[in-house]
Amino acid sequence: MADGGKKPYVVAVAIQAIYTALFVVSKAAFDSGINTYVFIFYRLAAATALLLPIALIDCTCRRSRSTTATPPAPAMSCRLLFKLFIYALLGNTFTLNVYNMSLKRTSATVGSAATNSMPVVTFLLALLLRTESVKLQSRSGMGKLAGVTLCLAGVLVIAFYAGPSIRPLAHNPVFAHKPHSASSGSEWIKGTFLLIVACATLSLWIVLQVPLLKEYPNKLMTTALQCLFGALQSFVVAVVFERDFTKWKLGLDIGLFAKIL
């Protein structure tokens, strides 16, 4: 296999490693007492501050380099902005807030397992929306069906089988769980259900990006604007659920690291 053929697999593994670190750090931040709604606002605000200037510079460079052979991206219409607002509400504001509420009730392991089921949910939604097809009589179709079954079985085992406690970092004050973070059975089931909902909505958001990028083929700008709209929406949600602005203060702790990450 050529080096170019290995890059997607290397990138996929690197992304999973980043997500794993994100789950662990976020869980530690929530257990330290950070409000999940405020957390999402700061994270989306940080993403907007990073991506929006880069996207604007990229658009300017594209216009300066555009020719008749490579025309620039179409103008941003009000209809497209409204669509980006709705997509941000679905994929950023709703999904991230529900996901973090579920992570607070479960664990980083369950969060990681549920997220790894997203390709399965995305595939099933793509089948329902007729953007994907599968032939059960072919080897590829049987392989997809077997992969879907194994993935879902693994997620259910990790989510509902508690097993013995393994906490090598239990004495570390950063990663130690507070007594209330050890969720009861009902809270754990509720958190797992919320995880499933969050993964389903995020999978739907991923499927919807395909026609969106055909309509406006500028990935960087659509991502930056969705982060911007998501930050504004999350600010409203955070203000509604957290009126004590002393809890909005940023400190040099695990919470600040998690927001940047």
- Residue 90: closest CA among 243, 213, 239, 197: 197
Lowest mean pLDDT among 22-26, 97-101, 156-160, 174-178: 174-178
Q: What pLDDT is stored for residue 30 in this prediction?
A: 65
Locate 16 and state its tokens.
Answer: 């999973």
Please state the rounded mean pLDDT for residues 100-113: 74
- Residue 167: closest CA among 155, 157, 177: 177
Q: What pLDDT is stored for residue 83 in this prediction?
A: 93
* Nearest-angstrom CA–CA distance, 88 and 234: 10
- Residue 38: closest CA among 250, 194, 261, 228: 250
Q: What pLDDT is stored for residue 236 in this prediction?
A: 93
pLDDT digits (tens, 9 = 90+) for 108-138: 667 667 776 777 777 777 777 766 666 666 7
**Total-model pTM:** 0.71
* Nearest-angstrom CA–CA distance, 34 and 26: 10
**Quick check: 225 pLDDT over 90?**
yes
In order of 15, 27, 29, 31, 142, the CA distances from 103 in angstroms are 19, 7, 11, 10, 33
Confidence of residue 169 (pLDDT cuts 50, 70, 90): very low
pLDDT digits (tens, 9 = 90+) for 17-69: 777 777 677 666 666 667 788 888 888 998 899 999 999 898 888 777 765 54
Please say whether the beta carbons of 120 and 207 come within 8 A. Answer: no
pLDDT digits (tens, 9 = 90+) for 173-223: 444 444 444 455 677 778 878 888 888 888 888 888 888 988 888 889 999
* Nearest-angstrom CA–CA distance, 193 and 178: 23
Please state the length of the chain: 261
